Structure 1
């Protein structure tokens, strides 16, 4: 029997557990389609407040898992459930400080001030937890700016850790842009919370007109870039519709 392709689908929101837009719907349906095609696909997302056994029984895999990002120690738990009416496993990364809030990314129309720290934590937690449960993906499929540090970390910090580098040596990344208008822009003074070296804050990295641009990092450091449609792919490579990243996208074109 042929070996099943192992795909980790990383998304900041997944229907019916969490949703602000269309990304959640795609994240709740595409993995099931991949499963039906014969892939061993698993989903991973933050465990926001409100996610619980009302969506189906969740099993605790780890109550406490510690790791470092730069100079700070972090702690996370991991829960496991299934997408509704399917056999697709979904993992929930838990941390009360970062995810037990009223909103997903903002509250009362204002972005959370620590969004960079929150999703730096999530991105590194994903990579640490996979090794912790010893599940090696062939493909790590990331979606939008909230997961864009995963390919960045894989090509920087993870390569400096021999055990993690060996674990991920055969993994490849896909990064899907759902909405180029949301790029994950942050002041450069916040860069240390990513744990990355300053060499990554560069025109060939995350630097964007003096700011941090997470989406740009995801585009540059991922192996393959996809969008929601062929038409959208063509549109965002045009200067007028490229939201300042058209040149970066053209450079990644096959």
Structure 2
């Protein structure tokens, strides 16, 4: 993996979130690949539940200040960064007061999905990719984890399709059984079409539930990873029907060599 650039886009990560299969892998996979010689970058939303003082987040002024247009509205992008203690890894946080200041992650106090979760996902995707461009750091692999990261593949493959910065990047989607109740805003397809992302993806998002968000990411995936031993059957069937290369579930203690081989053989044709 020497010199390969791998961009990790996740919505949950230790130590900023409690331990789950996703939050643990979001730390361990980048660390393992960094130890194998890869150049990694990690991005996640700066949710309001993350304690900035405790985790020593600070704003990166030179990267902040851009405005992103979401549903025909200008939204300011703020970039913060923190170092993971004892791991020699940095994490970039996508922040915006409208979308991420609230002291809850995906739902309100009654457990209802936020009505703007679709816009939060779009803002997050665009924010990550615009920041990577500003860093002048061209990724070989874009690896996304979590349903709120699921708009990233569409933006890589459609919005930036003619952009030499991303047009050679391979997309990997990690899949987890972390379903949510209900659906995202039904206007999500319309908001994506504002950025020229339409056509096939709108078929997946007619009913924008957990399954649809995953399938819309897999629509643009070069490969997929089962982040848990069991994932929803509909997603399993889609993987088989589309012949997407899949890495089966691998316990955390075995990921180092497994991911090195997976990236090399399935994405970079290095046998």
TM-score range (shorter-chain normalised) is: 0.7 to 0.9
Q: CA deviation at 1:87?
A: 1.3
Q: CA deviation at 1:247?
A: 3.5
SS of the aligned residue for 2:11 comes to coil
Q: CA deviation at 1:183?
A: 9.3
Q: TM-score, normalised by structure 2?
A: 0.78
Distance 1:145 1:81, change over 3 A: same
SS of the aligned residue for 1:188 comes to coil
Tell me the residue number matched to 1:146. Answer: 148
Q: TM-score, normalised by structure 1?
A: 0.82
More strand by share: 1
Residues 175-200 of structure 1 deviation map (CA, whole Å, 9 limit, x = unaligned) = 00011645984353342223354743
Tell me the residue number matched to 2:98. Answer: 97
C-alpha separation in 2, matches of 1:140 and 1:198: 18
In structure 2, list runs of 5 or more residues that go unmatched. Answer: 246-271
Say if 2:81 and 2:92, in contact at 8 Å, map to a contact too: yes
Q: CA deviation at 1:208?
A: 4.1
Tell me the residue number matched to 1:29. Answer: 28
Say if 2:141 and 2:170, in contact at 8 Å, map to a contact too: yes
The size of the alignment, in residue pairs, is 237
Q: CA deviation at 1:136?
A: 1.1
Q: CA RMSD in A?
A: 2.5
Distance 1:158 1:185, change over 3 A: farther
Superposed counterparts of 1:233-244, under 5 Å: 236=231, 241-242=232-233, 244=234
- Considering Cα pairs closer than 8 Å and 6+ residues apart, tell me whether 1 or 2 has the greater RCO: 2
In structure 1, list runs of 5 or more residues that go unmatched. Answer: none
Say if 1:183 and 1:216, in contact at 8 Å, map to a contact too: no
Superposed counterparts of 1:71-150, under 5 Å: 71-108=72-109, 109-150=111-152
SS of the aligned residue for 2:85 comes to coil
